[in-house]
Structure 1
Amino acid sequence: MIWGTTQVKVLAENQSAANSELTNYYPKIDQFLHQINQIILDKNQQTKLALCSLLAGGHLLFEDLPGLGKTTLASSLSRLAGLDFQRIQFTNDMLASDVIGINMFNQKEHQFEFKYGPIFTKILLADEINRCSPKTQSALLEAMEEGNVTVDGTRYELPKPFWVIATQNPLFQSGTYSLPESQLDRFLMRLSLGYPSRAAEKLLLQQNSRYELIAQLQSIFKNNEILQLQCMANGISINNLVFEYMLDLAEETRKGRHGLSTRGLLALKKAAQAYALIEKRQFVIADDVQAVFVAVASHRIGLGESETLALMQKVPVKG
């Protein structure tokens, strides 16, 4: 196909308009990160990756000891993003219907009607997800992958965007079940907050209650702005050298072990695009891939953060 002068001009104008619209969001992204870092102290990279996960449209798994700020982070993210929020505290006696909902008989109407479960929200905090049975954990799989749930043969659409932030306790703690590989693969990223620094912990002691601080947060994004940013992130350009670098990383994970799947490689692409957007770039560079690689890959290939980082360092950047 031969492009005429008019077609090229229209394409350039559309691209310029898209770039201008994206640029208008940069101050809001900066404000978002500034506000959340006032609540979650000394964890700037983790909060940036959490926002990256949201803008990439992928679910987020936190693995940590209790009491290190996972729930606080999830609550802060929902308020700043301006999205509806529900929290489920998972226990070993919880059933799938407690999460999804159930058909109940309405005696007045003489018919069954569906009672919506807490999963029908835009941000779902699945707290201590590995304390419930594998059967109940699997209730989330369809929702996380397809954005809907099926009950008694009827499909129910979930709100958009739909984002799961799950927390799990270390497996050495009593009463925990390991997440199956199929469910781990549904999480775009796995993060760990870890203990705060001594200075940050001292400041936490001196501050007011973090619940009071969260209550004071105002929404930064409104209406469908998160959905718009997710679409924009998906349009961030990637050149051939960066694609080759991602493929090299995937091949390195597959040497003599359970390596990164094709779905995992696609997740790496989406995360790198969202990270580039947060960094105020409209194209992906190798640094973006490196920034998200450990969080995207470690839980998929069964390695710890340090081992995944060491693996990444074996792969040279091309170009």
Structure 2
Amino acid sequence: MQSKTRIFDQPQPLVERMIMNVEKVIVGKRETIEKAFVAMLSGGHLLLEDVPGVGKTMLVRALARTIGCEFKRIQCTPDLLPSDVTGVSVFNVKSNDFEFRPGPLMTPIVLADEVNRTSPKTQSAFLEAMEEKRVTIDGVSYELPKPFVLLATQNPVDYEGTYALPEAQMDRFMMKLSLGYPTPEQEILMLDRLQDRQPLEHLKPVIVQDEFVQLQREATMIHVDNTLKDFIVRLALATREHVDLYLGASPRASYALMRAAQTLAYMKGRSFVVPDDIKDLVLPIWTHRLILTSEARMTGKSAETILTDLLATLQTPVLRYVSGK
């Protein structure tokens, strides 16, 4: 049974230190960094999609160093095999038996760099690990460490040499974020920092692995009122019945939104979720899961505009009382 003992009664200072640590490397992207930590502290996986050269890989490496967990990188290429990711059983002549040699996926923090450049067969090797936190090799299941977070980067699907990720894999990413280009002032500051040294090389951990796992546990204790659960479900149903959507939000998407809202409330020092927590997170959590009809795409509609319209249409619940802080 999960312990209800809370170690971090005031998590905001620690979370602020974690965010500021990443900001030593990534300039002017505080909102993206905050949402990345929301996904990781929720036990979810993060997909960063953007054009090359805006700092996707650098952000992932900074997040991993801040947490202080073991970190491995998988450079996804067209010739990458599933066994290169999960591991392989090798016959040992001395022991006359097979020995399992774990792959990089069996690491607390994993970077799948340019994940959409590898084949669909290899992309499918991530599915079991992302959902069940284990891998199965030759009929034997191996549990993944805690925490296990997959941080993936990808270039836009219209770039040459990319494969669109399957819907089942996209649904397993809690969030999809983009960094975007910096402002001219931010780019000048970035050049100043990189002029004589690489900030990432001097980045120190703010938190250790066990502390991070404890933060994840405590975030699950945040209260979610039944009216807010009903609001999430009504929003999900609206996407499933929407005329412009071929595929709406799944039950996994509803759960991901609730968990992320708990974590956001926890990071802000509250013991309860408010409607704004849900509204702030629904776009990065749901847009990559929705599939528009061909007619909707032809008329220039997007998942973002549809979700925004639904949020404006559905009645926002009003909490009559809250428990705790």
**Range with bigger deviation, 235-244 or 169-178:** 235-244
Tell me: CA distance 1:287–1:192, structure 2 relative to 1, closer, same or farther (3 Å): same
Contact 2:118 2:163 in 1 (8 A): yes
CA distance in 1, matches of 2:161, 2:310: 32
| Equivalent in the alignment of 2:91 | 105
| Equivalent in the alignment of 1:177 | 163
CA distance in 2, matches of 1:101, 1:69: 29
Compute the TM-score of the two structures, normalised by the length of structure 2. 0.88
| Equivalent in the alignment of 1:187 | 173
CA distance in 2, matches of 1:205, 1:190: 27
Which residues in structure 2 correspond to 1:1-319 (within 5 Å)?
18=6, 21-208=7-194, 212-254=198-240, 255-256=242-243, 257=245, 258-302=247-291, 303-319=302-318
C-alpha deviations, 1:245-289, integer Å up to 9, x for none?
222321221222221111110111001111111112111001110
Contact 1:91 1:131 in 2 (8 A): yes
Tell me: CA distance 1:29–1:148, structure 2 relative to 1, closer, same or farther (3 Å): same
CA distance in 2, matches of 1:151, 1:202: 49
Specify the code of the residue in structure 2 equivalent to 1:292: L
| Cα drift, residue 110 of structure 1 | 2.5
Specify the code of the residue in structure 1 equivalent to 2:221: G
Which secondary structure state, in structure 2, belongs to the residue aligned with residue 175 of structure 1?
Answer: coil
CA RMSD of aligned residues (A): 1.8
| Cα drift, residue 101 of structure 1 | 1.0
Compute the TM-score of the two structures, normalised by the length of structure 1. 0.90
| Cα drift, residue 162 of structure 1 | 0.4
- Runs of 5+ unmatched residues, structure 1: 1-13
Specify the code of the residue in structure 2 equivalent to 1:73: L
Contact 1:147 1:162 in 2 (8 A): yes
Tell me: CA distance 1:215–1:202, structure 2 relative to 1, closer, same or farther (3 Å): same
CA distance in 2, matches of 1:315, 1:169: 34
**Range with bigger deviation, 30-39 or 286-295:** 30-39
Contact 1:121 1:158 in 2 (8 A): yes
CA distance in 1, matches of 2:267, 2:76: 32
Contact 2:290 2:303 in 1 (8 A): no
CA distance in 2, matches of 1:210, 1:249: 50
- Runs of 5+ unmatched residues, structure 2: 292-301, 319-325
CA distance in 2, matches of 1:90, 1:158: 20
Identity %: 42
Which secondary structure state, in structure 1, belongs to the residue aligned with residue 270 of structure 2?
Answer: coil
Contact 2:74 2:104 in 1 (8 A): yes
| Equivalent in the alignment of 1:3 | none
| Cα drift, residue 111 of structure 1 | 2.2
CA distance in 2, matches of 1:305, 1:206: 35
Which secondary structure state, in structure 2, belongs to the residue aligned with residue 207 of structure 1?
Answer: helix
Contact 1:39 1:210 in 2 (8 A): no
| Cα drift, residue 159 of structure 1 | 1.0
Which secondary structure state, in structure 2, belongs to the residue aligned with residue 179 of structure 1?
Answer: coil
